[in-house]
């Protein structure tokens, strides 16, 4: 069994015990450096990272694998990668980038398994007469259609 397979197996058991936490990314380099990024429905505390780290480290044999281990939260300003992160951030403002298109900033108002909806205010010319009016725009986007989505603080 490879180190990556063993770590993935251990992560599954760790997250079964902690249903409020979930995996964002697990990287295992060729020189056996393990980097694990996690998130939680109510955020991630330092103790959560320690608990996941200990769960993995105590069950890996140092005689078999000479590894280093780093467990961290996804962090503010990191790209949203999982649908569960979108659900967690409903009501917050996102900066969404597309390949070859102008980025959008708006409030995340809805998220499901395939799409999410952003809402924002925009100034537009009045339909009749001079001046501008503020209108509320809303768009539904597919997760596959975007390059990145970052929560704005």
Q: Residue 65: how many CB atoms within 10 A of its CB?
A: 14
Domain with CATH 2.30.30.100 in the chain: 83-151
Question: pLDDT of 100-137, one tens digit each?
Answer: 889 999 999 999 999 999 999 999 999 888 999 999 99
Question: pLDDT of 57-97, one tens digit each?
Answer: 999 988 888 899 999 998 888 999 999 999 999 999 999 99
Residue 34 burial by CB count (10 A; 0-12/13-18/19+): exposed, middle or buried?
buried
Token pair of 67 as six digits = 């590894």
| Predicted TM-score (pTM) of this structure | 0.85
Rounded distance between C-alpha atoms, residue 46 and residue 140, angstroms: 35
Assess if CATH 3.40.640.10 describes domain 3-73.
no
Domain with CATH 3.30.300.70 in the chain: 3-73
CB 11 within 8 A of CB 56: yes
The alpha carbon of 57 is separated from its chain's Cα centroid by a whole number of angstroms, namely: 24
Query: Looking at the domain covering 83-151, what would its CATH class be?
Result: mainly beta
Rounded distance between C-alpha atoms, residue 123 and residue 105, angstroms: 14
Checking DSSP bridges between strand 21-28 and strand 33-40, what pairing results, if any?
Answer: antiparallel
- pLDDT over 90 at 1, yes or no: no
């Amino acid at each position: 069994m490879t180190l990556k397979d063993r770590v993935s197996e251990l992560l599954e058991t760790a997250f079964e015990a902690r249903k409020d936490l979930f995996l964002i990314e697990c990287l295992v380099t060729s020189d056996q450096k393990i980097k694990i990024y996690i998130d939680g429905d109510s955020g991630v505390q330092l103790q959560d990272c320690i608990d996941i780290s200990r769960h993995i480290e105590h069950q890996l044999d140092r005689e078999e694998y000479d590894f280093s281990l780093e467990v961290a939260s996804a962090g503010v300003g990191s790209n949203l990668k999982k649908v569960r992160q979108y659900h967690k951030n409903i009501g917050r403002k996102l900066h969404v980038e597309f390949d070859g298109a102008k980025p959008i900033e708006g409030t995340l108002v809805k998220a499901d398994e395939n799409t999410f909806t952003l809402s924002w205010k925009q100034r537009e010319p009045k339909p009749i007469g001079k001046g501008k009016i503020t209108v509320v725009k809303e768009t539904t986007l597919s997760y596959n259609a975007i390059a990145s989505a970052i929560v704005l603080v």
